[in-house]
A and B are shown apart, each in its own frame.
Chain A
Amino acid sequence: MRAPSSWGRIALFAVIGAFILVPLAQTIITSFVSTLPRAGIAEGHFSLVNYQNILHSAALKDSIVNSIIYVVLNVALCLGVGLPAAYGFARYGFAGDRQLFFLLLVFRITPTVVLSLPIFVLFAQIGLANTPVGIALVHCVFNIPISIWILEGFISAVPREFDETAFLDGHSLPSFFFRHLIPAIAPGIGVAAFFCFVFSWVEVVLARILTTTGGKPITMAINGLFGFRTDFGLVMAMTVLAVLPGIAMIYFVRNHLAKGFVIRT
Chain B
Amino acid sequence: MKLYDNRAWFLVLPALVIVTFVGIVPLIAVTNYSFQDLFSLNNPYWVGVDWYRNIVTSERFYASLGRSFLFSAIVLSIQLPLGIWIALLLQRSNQFIVSTVLVLITVPLVVPWNMIPVIWLNLINPNAGLAGKMLAWLGVGFDYKFNALHTWIVLVVMDTWHWLGLVVVLAYAGISSIPPAYYQAAAIDAASQWQVFRFIQLPKMKTVLSMAVLLRFMDSFMIYIEAFRINAGGPDSATAFLSLDLGEEILSFNYGPSAARSIVYFLIVLTVAWTFKAATSAPAPAVPPTQELAT
Contacts and interface: CB of A to CB of B under 8 A. Distances in A.
A47 interface: no
B104 A20 contact: yes
Contact of A26 (B129, B174, B187): B129
Interface string B12-32: 101110110111011101100
Interface residues of B, number: 95
B207 A246 contact: no
A137 to B, nearest CB: 6
Query: Which secondary structure characterizes the binding site on chain B?
Result: helix
Contacts of A202: 109-113
Query: Which secondary structure characterizes the binding site on chain A?
Result: helix
A242 interface: yes
Contact of A111 (B93, B99, B102, B222): B222
Contact of A119 (B26, B106, B218): B26
A186 B130 CA distance: 42
- Interface range, A side: 35 or more
Interface string A1-41: 11010100110110011011111111100100000000000
B12 A84 contact: yes
A12 B89 contact: yes
Given A23-B119, A111-B265, A117-B258, A201 B112 contact: yes
B9 A94 contact: yes
Contacts of B107: 20, 24, 243, 246-247, 250
Interface stretch (B57-65, B73-81, B135-143, B165-173): B165-173
A48 interface: no
A27 B18 CA distance: 38
B15 A82 contact: yes
A100 interface: yes
Interface in A83-98: 84-85, 87-89, 91-95, 97
Contacts of B22: 115, 119, 137-138, 140-141
30 contacts: A9-B92, A10-B97, A13-B89, A13-B101, A21-B104, A22-B131, A23-B161, A81-B15, A84-B15, A85-B14, A88-B10, A88-B11, A92-B7, A100-B12, A100-B16, A109-B273, A111-B218, A114-B30, A117-B250, A118-B26, A118-B27, A118-B259, A141-B23, A144-B18, A204-B112, A204-B113, A219-B112, A242-B111, A247-B110, A257-B169
Contact of A27 (B16, B30, B97, B122): B122
Interface in B120-148: 120, 122-123, 128-131
A93 B4 CA distance: 4
Contacts of A141: 19, 22-23
A140 B250 CA distance: 22
A181 interface: no
Interface of B: 2-12, 14-16, 18-19, 21-23, 25-27, 29-30, 33, 41, 86, 89, 92-93, 97, 99, 101-115, 118-120, 122-123, 128-131, 161, 169-170, 172-174, 176-177, 183, 186-187, 193, 196, 207-208, 211, 214-215, 218-219, 222, 224-225, 243, 246-247, 250, 255, 258-259, 262, 265-266, 269-270, 272-273, 276-277
A21 B18 CA distance: 38
A244 to B, nearest CB: 9
Nearest to B6: A94
Contacts of B97: 10, 13
